Amino acid sequence: MEKSKSDINRRQFLKNGAVAVAALGAVGAGVNYLKHFNEESDKILLRPPGAVIEDDFIYACIKCGLCVQICPIEAIKLAGISDGLSYGTPYIDTRAQACDFSCDAMQCVETCPTAALNFLPFKKAGENALLEHQKENPTPGPDYNPFIVQSLAMKSNTKMGIAVTNHETCLARNGKSFKGVPREDGFEGVYRSPNPKRKERKASSVNDHVFDRELCDLCVTECPIGDTAIIMEEKTRRNGEKIWRPIVLDGCTGCGVCEMVCPTTPSSIFIEKLETA
C-alpha cells in the first residue's frame, strides 16, 4: 500500500527528533565531562590582551582561533581537553613565549569577533592619547606619527597580569651578575628588544641576545613598556648593606617578557593573572 505524505512527514519528524535528542545528550555529556575536568584542574590560564572576566570569557569565546592565527610571534595557544571548560580557548604561556607587542596594534583584540577580547578600552586609550598629544603639541613637527602615540597608549592599557619576583632566587637581589644568553640551548622563544641600539623592528630569538651585566637586570632593560612597569631600585638593609632589586610598578601589563628572558631556572619573576572587569 502506498504511504501517505503525512505518514512520511511524521516518520521523518520522529527520526529527526530522535537524532536531536541523541545530539543534545552527547553535548550534555561533553559539557559534564569538561566541567569535571574544570573542577578538578587548578591550572589558571593567562588570557590574551583585552580578555573579559574568566566566567564570561569561556562562554563568549567561540574558539575560532583568529587571535592565534594573527599573532606575529605565535604567543597565543589553544587550551587542551584537560583544561575543562577552557578547552579550545586562547591563552599565553609567558615562560615559553611572552606577548612582546610586536604587532603594535593589539591585532588579537581587534580580530576577536565576539568581544571576548574587548577592543573598546584600547580604542579609547588611543584616542585619549592623541587628544593629549595635540594639546601639548598644537603644531607637531614633520616626524610626528599618530600611530606611535596610539600604539604606546594601547600597549600600556593592557592588564593581563602582574609580574611577581622571587626574592630568594633573583640574581639582582642576591647581588649577582649575568653573562651569556638568557635561556637554555634550543629555546625557541622570540621577542623584539626595546634596546635602541638594536635597529631591527622584527622579533628575534631570545638567545640571539648576549648579555654581560655586572648586576642582572634583564627584567628591567628588556621590558617593552619601560620604567612605568618595572625599575631597578636601591635599598639599604638594616645592617647597612646596599642592594638593588627589581620593583614592579602599576604600569606592568603582565606581558611576560621579563619571565621569558629571566636566566634562572625556574624563572625568578613570573606573571600572576589579574581579573579584569
Does a structural domain hold residue 260?
yes
Does a structural domain hold residue 192?
yes
Residue 252's domain comprises: 159-273
Domain count, the chain: 2
Positive or negative, the Cα torsion across 14, 20, 21, 22?
positive
Does a structural domain hold residue 50?
no
Does a structural domain hold residue 96?
no
48 near 117, Cβ under 8 Å?
A: yes
Does a structural domain hold residue 12?
yes
Indicate left, alpha or beta for 104 from its phi (over 0: left) and psi (-120 to 50: alpha).
Answer: left
Does a structural domain hold residue 98?
no
Does a structural domain hold residue 261?
yes
Does a structural domain hold residue 203?
yes
C-alpha cell at 81: 581537553
DSSP letter string, the chain:
-PPPHHHHHHHHHHHHHHHHHHHHHHHHHHHHHHHHHHHH----PPPPTTB--HHHHHHH-----HHHHH-TT--EEE--GGGGGGTT-EEE-TTTS----TTSS-HHHHH-SSSSB--HHHHHHHHHHHHHHHHH-SS--TT--HHHHHHHHHHHT--SEEEEE-TTT-TTTTT--EEE-SS-TT---EE----TT----S-EEGGG--EEESS--HHHHT-SS-TTTEEEEEEE-TTS-EEEEEEE-TT-----HHHHH--SSS-SEEEEE----
Record the pTM.
Answer: 0.82
What is the Cα–Cα distance from 264 to 128, expressed in whole angstroms?
A: 39
pLDDT tens across the length of the chain (277 residues): 445 544 544 454 444 444 444 434 444 444 444 444 444 445 789 999 999 999 999 999 999 999 999 999 999 999 999 999 999 999 999 999 999 999 998 999 999 999 999 999 999 999 999 999 999 988 888 888 999 899 999 999 999 999 999 999 999 999 999 999 999 999 999 999 998 777 667 899 999 999 999 999 999 999 999 999 999 999 887 888 888 999 999 999 999 999 999 999 999 999 999 865 4
